[in-house]
Structures are given as C-alpha cells and as structure tokens.
Structure 1
C-alpha cells in the first residue's frame, strides 16, 4: 500500500540589500562563513522545530529548509511555518549586524514560506519543487513575512475572539441635578499586547488594507454586545462600524441579534456609530439599509464630525440621531474663538434637526464648562471617565 503523502513546508532564507544594488557576494568573506555555520546550527536549536526538518539545500547563497508537517488545518500549518521562519529571521538579523555586515549595512534577511498539503497531487519531487517555488516567490517580496505574520495574528484575534471590549461613558450635560448621569457607553476595542500592532488604529488600518475589516468589525461588535452586562434599561450602547459595512448592508446578522436577546438588549439600546473618516460610496443604498434598521428601533450616530471628508453631507443625507464632534474641535475650545464658532454652528444645526450632539475628547474642566454652556447635550472623554468594564463603571457612579 502506498504511503500517504506528507505535508511539505519549505522555508527560504536569503540576504538582500534593501536599497543599494549590493549582493551577498559583496559581504565580507568572514560573514559568509559564519552565516552558513550559524544558520545550520540555528535550524536545529529548537527541538520543536527541528523534529520536522527533513532536509536542507543551498542554491548559491539561498538556503531552503524542507519540513514534513503533521496533519493539521491549513491555517495552523501555515502559522507554524511562518512562526519558524519569523523566529529564524529575527534571531539571525539580531546576531548579524553592524561590523558583521561591513559596508553593506542595509542588508536584510528575507524569509519566505511555501506549503503543499498532503492532499496535493504529483510526485514527491514535483511537490517539493512547488513548495520551494512558493517559498522563493514569497521571500522575494519586501516585508512579505512581516505582513503574513501580522495577518496571521489578526486572523487569530478574530477566530479566537480575543478582542477585549472596553466601554467609555457618555455623560448627559443638560439634566438638572448635581450629579451627571451616564447616558450611554461607547464600545472600544483593545487586544493583548503584541509586537505586530501598536494600537487599535493600527490594527483596523491593516485589516482594511488586507480586506479583513468587515470580519474584524463584526467580531468587535459581537464581543462588545457580549461584554455589555450592566447596561441599564435607559442607557445606550454605541457600536462603531465602518462605512464599508454600510455599503455592504450587513450591520445586523442573526448571530448579533441572538447575543442581544441573551443579554436583555433590544434595538432601542443600540446606536450604530459610523466613522466619518471613511467614505460612503452610495448614499441611496445606505439610506435604504439604515431605514430597515431604524424601523426596528436602532439609532445612528456620525462619528468624528469635523475631522473627515464630508461631515455636512453625511449629516444632511443620513439624518443621524446623534453627531459626535471630533476632539480636534473640542481641545482647547475655551480659548479658541474659531473652534467655538464652528461648534456653535453645529449645536444650532443639531437643535433644528432634533439631533443629539456629543462632544468627544473632553480632558479639561474648562472644555467641559464651555461646551455645556454652549448647549452641547452630551460629552465623552478622560475627564468624565476612562474606558473600562460597564459593570465596574456603573458601580463607581
């Protein structure tokens, strides 16, 4: 009986100049000797990786490491390959720098991976050739491994539901009484500390570049609803979303509806907060989508008003229930006449259109006093409350 073909993984490693036309041969001879000895030892340094190494071969100064991988899902197989390649690349670049490179200080170690699963057709030789070719093409793209590792981490956050929702209070300013009440909370996304993404803005920007922003957006929204325990019957939960989801008409999948029901939430609790920084492509179709959700009781807010491309058009076309004035207009408003005039105009517009207006980014008492005196309805910012769990925020008030 024929043996079942193995999953073949190949890791490609090669030094390249990032800017000049320098080649590996121009590096000091001592470097080339040390590099070949170093990488041969490094391949077998980690027992968990070394056990899968089946062969290695040099083509000129390019190294190909052949690995036989266990039967796992494709995503996990690729993740293991990327992790091994990334570790070798990072360790090698840390060990060979400065004087080791001579005049070729812009030399970087490129790494690529190629995978042919056991279900693939062809002879062992042809399958090895295909995996090697994929690794070579992959590794010749600048920063390809870094992009792949970032995408791998992003997919892991989504699949594992590892996003961390936190909630920042939105306080009512115009109610009578000495204590301000929390009108609602904006759900914000955080994630475990890692070396791939420095901030939520960085994460969402990469997701948009990679075509994964809809999945990330939906996961963040679902986890925000899951973590909303403690929301009071009269309070609102503001959920961020991109214009892309509006354009696609996919705001309220069945899974989110079930989560809301399980936590005693109804549509009147939810405000979909649309970032004004991203373009709405077709107002006609977006209006039809929003009309469907509004009939169910959902409300709409436009975020970052004053910071993006088409604030007034979005307000006129979408007729939101709330507008959130960007922090760039609120910061230092008590001593900036032009900002005061702009926000005053927005307050007048909001009053005439029966729209709630929210001042974002309040960090100083003088800013809060100013916007309250101007008639702004609600405010949000570190002065009023930092993001946290809703239950904890409620207990502190």
Structure 2
C-alpha cells in the first residue's frame, strides 16, 4: 500500500501531560456529541501509529495508549489513502474493515476518523471515534463535527508553546540517544611550553557525530537546554579520564566543565579520584554564573587535592573577566580572537601584555589558544605567554 503514508510527517509529535489533558477534553466532546464508546487522538509516522490520548471505555475495548502500532494494519492509514471511507457505520459488514486486525482486536462495530495537522499543514495524526456496535446515525455531519475538533487540536499542538515543548522533547531524545550509546569521542590537543616547545600536557576535547551535532558547542548547549547538560559533561569527562594511562606521566590533562557541572557532587568525586594525575579543570561558560560563592566553595576541595583551575576566553568579554576576578585561577587562557594575527595588531599586543602582567602579579600563568602561525607564536613568546596550543603547534587528535 504505497499510498498509505503519503503526506504523513516522518517524525511523530510527542505530546506532554499538559497537551494530553487538553486533547482529552476535546475527545470527551466527540464521544458526547456522537455517542461513541471511545475516542482517541494519535500521532503518525511513516510506519507507526501511536495513540497518545483516549477517553471512554478504553480498558474494555483494549485500546493501547502510548505504544507504537503497525500503521499498515490500521483504519487510519486506509482512510488517508482513500482505501476506506472516513465513516464506517458497520465495520463487521464492510468488505475491507471486517478483515482488519483492529476490528477483531478491539471489537469495533463502527468507526469515524479525521486527520489533525502539524504547523506545516502535513498530517500529524488522526482523531478517531469507535463503538462496539454498528451506528447508522454516523455520517457527514459527524465528520464535520470531528473536523472542527481536529482543527482545535491542530491549533493547540501547533501553538508556539507546544511547538517549543515538542522541540525540547526532540532534542532530549537526541541527547539521550548519545548518552545511551556513549557516542562521545575524545580527541586531545597538545599544550606546549612556548620557550622550548616541549609538550607539557593535553586538552581533552569532545567530538560528536556531525550528522547529529555540527559541533561540540551545539551538543552541550542542546543538552543544557533539555536538562541533560550535566550527564553529557559527565560522559565526556569519563571518556577523557579513561585515557589517562595513555598520557605521558609528567604531563597534565585539561578537562572542560561548566560551573553547573562542578557544583554536582558526583562530578567532583570523580575528579578527586584522579587528582594525582595533574588534572586541570577549565571552567566553561555553558551556563551563566550568577552566584560565585557556591562555586568557589565547590572548587576549594578540588584545589586542595592538587587540581588546578583554568579560566577560558580571557580577553573575549566581561564574563571571562568575572571568572578571573572571582575564581583566581592558576591558568588564564587567552581567547583565540585575541591571539589571531596578534603579531600585526598593536592593540592586541597591548592587551596581551597587560594580561601577562596581571597574571604574573596574581601568580597565574597564561596559555594562548588558537596559535596558527610561527609569527603569532614568536610574538606571544616575547610578550611572556608561558604556554600555547593551536594548529601550528599540534592539532587535536586521537591518542594512539
């Protein structure tokens, strides 16, 4: 039945409890007006139908809620394809309906169904009503009433708030799939001492399937948006620490963690278990810090255990400056925007020189990131920058 799935969205809507309650009220109106035993609303994909809301004698008729059903066996697919009419007054005598599995499974005697549509106008699901007995009163007027109800459901499901909830649910599903499959790949970029170009450590960087997330910043932002930010950071941390035995024993490993993740006791416990491995924690800006007191308290035990603290993106804006002033890091990383073409820009040179002096006064060391040319490296070395990383010094790569 090639035509069955024509016009149906490939991704089903996933309504939440608040949406289901609204739809159930609409379904009760259908049952009351048409005198039907059960009314339901479903979502459709290319091969599945899922009833997400139903009212009436649901248990008696055995209507499954929340479980994907084979669309090929359904009334809905055949209605959409024009194989059967949208109203069947006696399912047991209809030449096609009487042979369909739902007729026997649910004891359907009569049926009426109309589509509801997503924001793009494509069919997203069906609103259906069934009874155990034949009902000759069903007809065009019944369909017109059901179509009005389906329009209300379409408008509700297409509202900006509901669409936002659906988008968040879809993102959560994607991130959860990454977590379940542990599909975070770590690469390691060398950090070099500028004066002699000795390799003194690595920064662990997360990588994702580019068909799922176009970059790690997109992945972590999506995870934070749907409430899975800490689990995703924790997975990346575990994957990075798993490679500790493969690193030089006298080098450090820098791992990126948000302030929110560092406030999580489980994250801190894992860091403390590996404190002897010369860890550096780079505080990222996945989430904004509004109160530094809890964060400084959480970091105190880590620093007492020998874990050093690094602040990223110095010179890029107010947020990184706040991090430096409030957290007093051991390492300050110059942002790539400051490093790029610094050898030809007097303003950048002046700012980097000021930051080098500031770092020296507070007992911190500078790390320049994003070094791509020998001229940039020479300029930064002359300015007193201690460490550097970038494509000129070494690209991120998997460990052998």
Give yes or no for TM over 0.5.
yes
Distance 1:197 1:108, change over 3 A: farther
Q: Which runs of 5+ in 1 are unaligned?
A: 1-9, 14-39, 69-92, 94-105, 115-123, 125-131, 261-265, 393-397
Q: 2:257–2:283: 8 Å Cα contact kept in structure 1?
A: yes
Report the secondary structure of 2:246's partner residue: coil
- Please give the alpha-carbon distance, in whole angstroms, between the structure 2 residues aligned to 1:381 and 1:333: 14
1:152 alignment partner in structure 2:
173
Structure 1 length as normaliser, TM-score? 0.62
Deviation at 1:161, TM superposition (A): 1.2
How far does residue 174 in structure 1 lie from its aligned partner after superposition?
2.6
Counterpart in the other structure of 1:339: 348
CA distance in 2, matches of 1:368, 1:113: 63
| 1:211 is aligned to 2:230 | no
Could you tell me which of 208, 219, 224 is aligned with 1:191? 208
Q: CA deviation at 1:152?
A: 1.6
Q: Which has the larger radius of gyration?
A: 2
For residue 145 of structure 1, report the CA deviation from its aligned partner: 5.5
Is residue 11–residue 111 contact of structure 1 (8 Å, CA) maintained in 2?
yes
2:194 maps to which of 162, 170, 173:
173
- 2:256 maps to 1:240: yes
Shift of the alpha carbon at 1:323?
0.6
Shift of 1:111: 3.7
C-alpha distance 56-169 of structure 1, shift in aligned 2 (>3 A): farther
Change over 3 Å in CA distance of 1:12–1:246 after alignment to 2 = closer
Tell me how many residue pairs correspond in the alignment.
286
Instruction: State the SS of the aligned residue for 2:318.
Output: coil
C-alpha contact (below 8 Å) 1:325/1:360 kept by paired residues: yes
Instruction: State the Cα distance separating 1:305 from its structure 2 match.
Output: 1.3
Tell me what 1:379 maps to.
388
Distance 1:166 1:112 in 2: 43
1:292 is matched with: 301
Question: What does 1:273-292 align with in structure 2 at a 5 Å threshold?
Answer: 273-276=282-285, 278-292=287-301
Question: How many Å separate the matches in 2 of 1:350 and 1:146?
Answer: 44
CA contact (8 A) 1:111 1:145 kept: no
In the TM superposition, 1:81-92 aligns within 5 A as none
1:370 and 2:370 correspond: no
Rate the CA distance shift 1:338–1:250 in 2: closer, same or farther, 3 A. Answer: farther
1:225 pairs with one of 206, 222, 241: 241
Q: Per the alignment, do residues 369 and 211 of structure 1 end up closer, same or farther by CA in structure 2, a change over 3 Å counting? A: same
Q: Secondary structure at the match of 2:209?
A: coil
CA distance in 2 between counterparts of 1:282 and 1:291 reads 15
2: CA distance, partners of 1:371 / 1:184: 19
What do the CA deviations read for 1:91-124 (whole angstroms, capped 9, x no partner)? xx9xxxxxxxxxxxx945364799xxxxxxxxx9
Q: How far does the alpha carbon of each residue in 1:166-205 deviate from its partner, in whole angstroms, 9 at most, with x for none?
A: 0111111134xxxx211111110002232x4211111111
**Partner Cα distance (2:189, 2:296) in 1:** 28
Secondary structure (helix, strand or coil) at the match of 1:280 reads coil
CA RMSD of aligned residues (A): 4.0
Q: Which of 122, 126, 131 is matched with 1:109 structurally? A: 122
Structure 2: gaps of 5 or more residues: 1-10, 15-43, 49-67, 87-100, 103-117, 133-149
With 275-284 and 137-146 compared, the bigger mean Cα shift is at 137-146
Change in 2 beyond 3 A, CA 1:147/1:281: closer
CA distance in 1, matches of 2:266, 2:126: 35
Q: Offset at 1:275?
A: 1.7
2:184 corresponds, among 163, 174, 179, to 163
Distance 1:108 1:146, change over 3 A: farther
Q: Quote the Cα distance in structure 1 between the aligned partners of 2:164 and 2:126.
A: 13
Q: Which residue of 2 aligns with 1:37?
A: none
CA 1:277–1:201 in structure 2 vs 1: closer, same or farther (change >3 Å)?
closer
Comparing 145-154 with 235-244, greater Cα deviation is found at 145-154
Matches within 5 A, 1:111-150: 111=124, 141-142=162-163, 147-150=168-171
